[in-house]
Amino acid sequence: MSNAQDKLTRRNFLRTAARGTCAAGLGALAIASAGNVATRRSVWQIDPSKCTACGNCATHCVLTESAVKCAHQYAKCGRCNFCFGYYKSGSSGAKSHSGVEFQLCPTDALLRKWLIEDSYEYTIDLEKCTGCGICVKGCKEGNGSLFLQVDHDRCTNCNECTIATACPAQAFVRLPAEKPYWFDQGTEHKS
Ligand code: SF4
Ligand code: SF4
Ligand code: SF4
């Protein structure tokens, strides 16, 4: 595995979940038969470099609430006042635009906290995040620190992931079960 494929640890992803804050059809559950068994050797994950944030991750999971969530590479984030992942384009002068009408996230899952001067921290409420990728697409105009990942607390590790089948970018890959996230431990999930 290349250096570029360093992975998040499960612990770090869960730490993200802690900071924030299924009803599948029977057929779909049957497909998911190989899910969370202790013996699994690999799991589904999204390669952020391939993902185009097309929106399919929010709608094609067998789970009613998608197992795909937004994640944040904090070390890469510019902590911008005008965040391309947080604000709709054209909302310049965002400092005074705190209303939801200026925000990209349709579920209020991307949270913004003032740190110092023009520096802000952006965190994700995983309970509200639908994995729609709208903020991820926006952040591609910035530092690209927001990205989508399969949350392995939720994913049933289907033999044939229905999102992987629907993915137009072939962004779904298999990673070793012991390293199920994309970035390594150097990736901060808190500031
Ligand atoms: S815009 Fe979509 S992917 Fe981003 S935090 Fe909101 S619900 Fe999650
Ligand atoms: S393997 Fe794919 S379709 Fe199945 S629960 Fe996980 S993300 Fe959803
Ligand atoms: S289906 Fe593929 S390209 Fe679309 S948001 Fe999911 S991983 Fe990204």
Q: What percent of the chain shows pLDDT beyond 90?
A: 52
Distance 154 CA to ligand 2 centre (A): 9
Give the separation between CA 38 and CA 127, rounded to whole angstroms: 25
User: Which DSSP helix (H) or strand (E) runs through 42?
Assistant: strand 42-46
Give the separation between CA 170 and CA 159, rounded to whole angstroms: 16
Distance 133 CA to ligand 1 centre (A): 6
Distance 173 CA to ligand 1 centre (A): 22
**Residue 125 alpha carbon, nearest atom of ligand 1:** 5
Amino acid (1-letter code) at residue 150: V
Give the separation between CA 188 and CA 39, rounded to whole angstroms: 29
Nearest ligand to the CA of 180 is 2
State whether the beta carbon of 163 lies less than 6 angstroms from ligand 3: yes
Give the separation between CA 71 and CA 2, rounded to whole angstroms: 21
The answer to whether the predicted template modeling score (pTM) of the entire model surpasses 0.85 is no
Least confident of 19-23, 71-75, 127-131: 19-23
Which of 47, 153, 155, 172 should be mutated for ligand 2, with most atoms under 8 A from CB?
155
State whether the beta carbon of 56 lies less than 6 angstroms from ligand 2: no
Distant-in-sequence, close-in-space partners of 123: CB < 8 Å, separation ≥ 6: 16, 19, 20, 72, 110, 111, 113
Give the separation between CA 39 and CA 144, rounded to whole angstroms: 34
Question: What pLDDT, in 10s, does the model give residues 63-91?
Answer: 999 999 999 998 888 888 888 889 887 76
Question: What pLDDT, in 10s, does the model give residues 42-54?
Answer: 999 999 999 999 9
Which of 47, 130, 140, 148 should be mutated for ligand 3, with most atoms under 8 A from CB?
148
Residue spans of the domains in the chain: they are 3-176
Q: What is residue 156's predicted lDDT score, i.e. its pLDDT?
A: 96
At residue 158, does pLDDT exceed 50?
Answer: yes
At residue 21, does pLDDT exceed 80?
Answer: no
Q: What is residue 81's predicted lDDT score, i.e. its pLDDT?
A: 84
